[in-house]
Amino acid sequence: MKFASIVLDVDSTLCGVEGIDWLAQRRGPELAKRVRELTDRAMNGEIPLDSVYGERLAMIEPTRSDVDELGQVYRRTLAEGAAEVIAGWTRRGIRVELVSGGIREAIAPLARELGVPVHGVSLRFDDRGNYVDYDRASPLATQQGKLDIVRSLALPRPTLAVGDGSTDVAMKQAADRFVAYTGFARRPQVVAAADAAAASYAELARIVGS
């Protein structure tokens, strides 16, 4: 199957970091543990993302400076070979979109470097850079939101969706094929729901083919 578009998750798929968990680590081990447990439960499909998205951010209260530093972490933890593979896809005319439940402002610098659009959840800060709130209207802060975004993009078909978590599985309904990315995190229920699994971007490139 020759894909005309590819949708990539970001946290633990394109990059080896869970952004909100990384922000929590800056607030100490106790809070980091609590946030990580909520993230894991949501990504494993035990609880809906809707129920913990705002709670995690309210616990962390990330500053604009924290988010800027997270942007550097995304760039440093980019999966091996991902930049080259994505560049190859775009040269061939394949449309690539990043669709993430992560913080858009942190992912945007990497997306610009890769030359691809990013869809994420925006945060609001006050004049001093303190956290105020997140975009509560964003579908990406919900369990099924990635499906809504992919449908709204009206991507050329066939479409391949790639991700590691339960929120990514929802994209199956709007894609022709779903690949579980296991290079950073392997979640058995996500692999079971996928059409294939890939542990590297070299493997993903082979699935996409020439």
Closest CA to 113 of 4, 11, 15: 15
Clarify whether 9 is annotated catalytic. yes
Which of 9, 21, 66, 168 is labelled catalytic?
Answer: 9
Q: Which helix (H) or strand (E) holds 66?
A: helix 64-76
Residue 189 in 3-state DSSP? Answer: helix
Residue 78 to residue 13: CA distance in whole angstroms: 9
Among 140, 142, 156, 47, residue whose Cα is nearest residue 98: 140
Report, in angstroms and rounded to the nearest whole number, the Rg of the chain calculated over CA atoms: 16
**Bridging pattern class, strands 123-125 and 131-134:** antiparallel
Which residues are bridge partners to 30 per DSSP? none
> Nearest 5°: phi and psi at 97?
-130, 135
| Catalytic residue from among 11, 66, 164, 168 | 11
Closest CA to 149 of 2, 22, 41, 5: 5
State both tokens at 169.
Answer: 């599985």
Residues designated as active site:
9, 11
